Structure 1
Amino acid sequence: MSPTYPSQVWRVDLTDIRVTQGCVYLAYALDSFTREIVGWAVSKCIDAALALRALNNAPQACCPAPGLLHHSDQESQYGSRVYVDRLREAGLMPNMSREGNPYDNARMASFYTTLKTEEADLQDDRDFDDVQRHSTAFIGQLHNEERLHSSLGSVPPAEFATQYHGA
C-alpha cells in the first residue's frame, strides 16, 4: 500500500502511555502519504469509543477522498460494529493487517516509538490531563508542524501536504 496522494491511505493504531496510577491510551490516525497525524484522542479506557473519537477528530473523516483505505491491525476496537459502521458511513474502506504479520503496521509502530522516546518517556505525566496536554502538543505542533521527515524531502508533514496541494 504505497499511496500516491494525501488521504488515500490512513493507518490507525492504539498505544498505552504510563502514568503514576497505571496508564492511559492514545488512538491516532496517520495519513500514509503525508505522514501527518490527522486525528487522535486520549482516554482512560482502551475501547471502540476511543478509536471512534480519534477517527471523528480527523477533519477529513467527514468528507474523505473517494475510496480512502482505512488500515488497522486486528485489534477488536477497529473491528467493532460501531467502528466499522462509522467507517462505511464516512465512505472509508476498512482494511486489516494479515494475522500475525507485524510488517503491515510498521509505520504506526515507528510513530509511537518516536512518541514514547521523544515525548512520553521524557515527561513526568502523572495523570490523564498531563498526557492529554503533552500528546496534543507533541502531535499537533512538533510532529505535524515542525518534525522534519527525510522521506518527505526534509520538511514537516503539514508543510508537505500544503506543498502537494499547491497552497
Structure 2
Amino acid sequence: MHTDRGSEYTSKEFRSLITELEMRQSMGRTGSCYDNAAAESFFGLLKAEIGTRAWDSRATARADVFRFIEAEYNRTRLRRHPEYGYLTPLETRVLLQQDLTPAA
C-alpha cells in the first residue's frame, strides 16, 4: 500500500493493521507529488475498469485484478500516444526486447 506521510498513515494503529493484513507499506517523499504518479494513474484506471466493490474473498479480488492486468491492460489497451505507435504494452515490450537483442 502506497500512502503519503499523513499522520493517519504513520500511526502505530495503521501500521499494525498493514502488518496484520500481510501487506507492505511505502510512502512518497515529503513534498513530492511525483513519486507515485505512474502508480496513481494505473490505480485510477483500475478502479474505473473493475470498480471498488467488496469481493467475496481475497482470491476473487486477486483473480479480477490479474484478469484485468493480463487480459485487458497488457494485451488490448492501446497506448494512446504516437511515440508508442498506438501499440499495447505487450506489443511494446516485444518490440523493445527485439531491439535489445545483442548482435552476434
> 1:47-66 counterparts in 2 under 5 A?
47-48=23-24
Aligned position for 2:92 = 160
> 1:84-163 counterparts in 2 under 5 A?
97-121=28-52, 125-151=55-81, 152-163=84-95
Aligned position for 1:45 = 21
Q: Which amino acid is the alignment partner of residue 110 of structure 1?
A: S
Instruction: String of CA shifts for 1:93-131, please: whole Å, max 9, x gaps.
Output: xxxx5313122211110000000111133x662221220
Count of residue pairs brought into register by the alignment: 80
Q: C-alpha distance in 2, partners of 1:126/1:98?
A: 35
Larger Rg: 2
Q: Alignment identity in percent?
A: 24
* Structure (1/2) with the larger helix percentage: 2
Instruction: String of CA shifts for 1:33-69, please: whole Å, max 9, x gaps.
Output: xxxxxxxxxxx82533xx7xxxxxxxxxxxxxxxxxx
TM-score, length-normalised on structure 1? 0.41
Q: What is the root-mean-square deviation of aligned Cα atoms in Å?
A: 2.6
Q: C-alpha distance in 1, partners of 2:54/2:88?
A: 27
Q: RCO higher in 1 or 2 (8 Å CA, sep ≥ 6)?
A: 1
| 1:155 positional shift | 1.0
Q: Which amino acid is the alignment partner of residue 144 of structure 1?
A: N
Alignment CA distance shift 1:46-1:150 (3 Å) = farther
* Structure (1/2) with the larger strand percentage: 1
TM-score, length-normalised on structure 2? 0.62
